[in-house]
Amino acid sequence: MKDYELTVLFHPDLETNLDPALDKVKNLIESNGGKIVKIEPEGKKRLAYRLKGQDFAIYYYYDLQLPAEAPNKLATVMGITDEILRAMLVKADVRKARYEEYLKSKSTDESAEAKEEAKEEAKEETNAKEEA
């Protein structure tokens, strides 16, 4: 199974009762052998241009693991589902994950360096006080 990112734009009229539409997407993914790793609701946003007569959409972001044949099936079904204005399914970028790991390690290295610098400054201040 490969990692994928799915962004779904739901019809804005579903804002009050979005659960059936979310369940429909979840069942679609699981019935095609997929696994949802993470779901991030992004909220209601203004669209850059009208989609199916709508100026707003409710954005949801999914991290998925899917077998090889599932992406085409998902794209086909989501394209004809009334609750969904637009859906985009792409392979997860391995470079993005590696870059995020790099940033985390770099921030840990920087914080360790900052601690060392603070210790050295404290020693220098102590030595300066002792000399005076």
Strands 2-10 and 84-91: antiparallel
The total domain count for the chain is: 2
CATH number of domain containing 11: 3.30.70.60
User: Going edge to edge, which strands form the sheet with 35-51?
Assistant: 35-51, 54-66, 2-10, 84-91
Q: Are residues 110 and 129 in the same domain?
A: yes
Could you tell me if 31 and 48 lie in one domain? yes
Residues 68 and 113 in one domain: no
- pLDDT digit string, tens, across residues 20-78: 999 999 999 999 999 999 999 999 999 999 988 999 999 999 999 999 888 999 989 98
Same domain assignment for residues 63 and 127: no
State yes or no: pLDDT of 108 exceeds 90. no
Report residue 94's pLDDT band, with 50, 70 and 90 as the boundaries.
Answer: low
Percent of the chain with pLDDT over 70: 81
Q: Is the pLDDT of residue 128 over 90?
A: no
Cβ contact 89:61 at 8 Å: no
Q: How far apart are CA 104 and CA 98, in angstroms?
A: 10
Query: What span, in angstroms and rounded, lies between the C-alpha atoms of 119 and 130?
Result: 17
